[in-house]
């Protein structure tokens, strides 16, 4: 039996932005409900975090547990089902979750983050879990003592993934479609240069996945030959090629999107183009720096904006 809710603010997402927003809205004494299935968002699967103030060298999952502990201490309810539809009627938001739960709220904070980008190759989906992964932090230990693993991407996540995997597998191929790295932190690139069992393949793309439906991935075809080979045998492939904002719900609401990045457009108060809807974290164009600390700060700001909006709404109704 599904439970229906009436709250001041509905927060969609269970990452840093949403937990921070929930912490603040609860302390503002707003009735709050947090919804979503993916605990901890990108932070929870990001591995070791070394740049979060006050928490040096903490695993991302553990950091998110600390966020949630504060939420739990305030007895803020969390409903583990994804938001699938929402519309604004008569000044309030009417939302439906994947499990059929219905929610009426005065305001809405979206912290639903991003979806991991795929390569779009044949057999990619069916071989996920059979040699293909999208989370180095989660699955790297599975490749202990394996011969070779490939990582695709050119950002921090790809370099960090390759470095982590280099501790388990004998050979790592880091494959990047451009001619040089421009996005990873310099300290990561320095460590990469010093890691002898990682080969970097620039100006290269994966063109084909080779294997079978029983054992999964066995090798990859590449667009540029490497040491005379256009096909490389690998025990695993990690796709760390970035992520795209989850815009299904923003589109259903009719929110303005940034024409360049396809992110939800927000102002400095995390307000969107629709009154009563606020957005925070990686979903938004609020900052180019997509980090746990910026997501949390945007969540706190969105909570203040929601508090002000709800207060004005209640005073006029």
Q: Hey, which residues are catalytic here? A: 135, 138-139
- CA 216 from chain centre, in angstroms, equals 26
Helix (H) or strand (E) holding 179: none
Burial status of residue 4 (CB atoms within 10 A of its CB: 0-12, 13-18, 19 or more): exposed
Rounded alpha-carbon distances, angstroms, from residue 242 to 119, 144, 153, 159, 183: 11, 25, 7, 12, 11
Core vs surface per residue 154-170: b (16+ CB within 10 A) or e = bbbbbbbbbbbbbebbe
Q: How far apart are CA 4 and CA 164, in angstroms?
A: 44
């Amino acid at each position: 039996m599904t439970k229906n809710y009436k709250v001041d603010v509905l927060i969609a997402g269970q990452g840093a932005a949403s937990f921070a927003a929930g912490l603040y809205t609860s302390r503002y004494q707003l009735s709050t409900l947090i919804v979503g299935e993916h605990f901890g968002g990108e932070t929870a699967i990001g591995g070791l975090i070394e740049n979060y103030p006050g928490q040096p060298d903490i695993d991302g999952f553990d950091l998110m547990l600390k966020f949630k502990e504060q939420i739990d201490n305030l007895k803020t309810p969390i409903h583990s089902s994804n938001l699938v539809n929402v519309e604004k009627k008569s000044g309030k938001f009417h939302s439906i979750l994947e499990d059929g739960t219905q929610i009426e709220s005065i305001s809405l904070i979206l912290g639903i983050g991003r979806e991991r980008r795929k390569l779009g190759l044949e057999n990619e989906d069916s071989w996920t879990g059979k040699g293909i992964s999208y989370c180095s932090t989660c699955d790297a230990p599975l490749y202990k003592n394996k011969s070779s693993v490939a990582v695709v991407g050119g950002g921090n996540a790809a370099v960090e993934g390759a470095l982590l995997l280099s501790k388990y597998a004998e050979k790592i191929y880091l494959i990047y479609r451009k001619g040089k790295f421009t996005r990873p932190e310099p300290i990561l690139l320095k460590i990469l240069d010093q890691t002898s069992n990682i080969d970097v393949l620039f100006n290269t793309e994966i063109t084909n996945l080779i294997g079978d439906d029983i054992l999964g991935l066995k090798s990859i075809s590449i667009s540029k030959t490497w040491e005379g080979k256009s096909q490389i045998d690998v025990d695993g492939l990690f796709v760390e090629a970035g992520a795209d904002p989850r815009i299904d719900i923003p589109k259903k609401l009719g929110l303005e999107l940034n024409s360049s990045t396809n992110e939800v457009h927000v102002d400095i108060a995390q307000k969107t183009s629709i009154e009563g809807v606020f957005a925070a974290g990686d979903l938004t164009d609020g900052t180019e720096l997509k980090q746990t600390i910026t997501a949390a700060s945007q969540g706190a700001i969105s909570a203040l904006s929601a508090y002000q909006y709800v207060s004005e709404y209640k005073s006029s109704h």
